Amino acid sequence: MDNIETRIFLKRIFKDLRDSIYFLWDIGKTLIFVVAIAFLIRFYLVQPFYVEGQSMEPSFNNGEYLLIDELSYHFRSPERGEVIVFHPPIENTYQNYIKRIIALPNEEIDFQNSGGDFVIKNQKYATGKTLEESYLTPNTPTRSEKDVKLGDQNYFVMGDNRTQSSDSRMFGLVFRKNITGRVWFYIKTEPWFRIPKTNIVIPKIKSMGKITKPQYKIDNLSFSFPQNEIDRNALQI
């Protein structure tokens, strides 16, 4: 009798141990799957970005958070008006920059005079075409000392705050291979709570939404007035 009870007891122990191992294996597989998905999203699909500086005002302000779409440019080319994150052609610089695409490959950007005007020249507009930049602060000048001709892998970028931006007017053209992705989503914050006796301020979300690309006459046969940088249907918090 004792032997029978012992065998039954051992069978129960082995069964419980086996069930525990299967349970832990299921949890492990789930964790591996979640980590793998998170890795793919973080390094190949979407990357967070923190705005530093004033070069993209008034579209984006210092301290705002952005999500960068790293996938789209594997299937299509960057487009005029899109705000991109890229590695600038500056030696010993590892910091990412954020600017707006103004001129495309094989185009020419002609800074006409000291008044702050410029035109884009391409096969369609050999004498040049201005851009309707509604995202700029009114009467913002765009000055540069020289005109620029782009190659087939080059992009000319500028910040929306033209007088406070280090961009292609200074460091030159951006190569396609150095573009990380396009700005896809924004999160605006505001101070919410300051921790007593410290300088630490906890923010709260003020608004967030998807970024819309402006439309220009130079790129469209049927033209609609350019939308603002930030989607007007954005969620206000």
In CATH, what number is assigned to the domain containing residue 202? 2.10.109.10
Q: Give the total number of structural domains in the chain.
A: 2
Taken in order 91, 96, 98, 102, is the CA torsion positive or negative? positive
Rounded-to-integer distance, Cα 128 and Cα 192, Å: 48
Residue 16: give the domain boundaries.
1-47
Same domain, yes or no: 73 and 15: no
Q: Which of 4-8, 50-54, 71-75 has the lowest mean pLDDT?
A: 4-8
Is residue 99 annotated as part of the catalytic site, yes or no?
Answer: yes
Q: What is the pLDDT of residues 36-51, one digit of tens each?
A: 555 555 555 568 888 9
Q: Is residue 103 located within the same domain as residue 161?
A: yes
- Catalytic site residue from 29, 59, 99, 129: 99
Residues 27, 117 share a domain: no
Are 87 and 148 in the same domain?
A: yes
Residues linked to residue 119 through DSSP beta bridges, in sequence order? 110
**Which runs of E-coded beta strand occur in the chain?**
46-50, 65-69, 83-86, 97-103, 108-111, 118-121, 148-149, 154-158, 174-175, 179-194, 201-210, 235-236
Shared domain check, 8 and 62? no
Q: What is the DSSP string of 171-187?
A: H-PEEGGGEEEEEEEEE
Same domain, 36 and 90: no
Same domain, 167 and 190: yes
Spot the catalytic one: 11, 15, 29, 55.
Answer: 55
Span 170-222, pLDDT tens digits = 999 999 999 999 999 998 888 888 888 888 888 888 888 999 899 999 987 55
Within this chain, do residues 9 and 87 fall inside the same structural domain, yes or no?
A: no
Annotated active-site residue 129? The verdict is no
Same domain for 35 and 65, yes or no, is no
pLDDT at 132: 92
Same domain for 145 and 95: yes
Residues 149 and 225 in one domain: yes
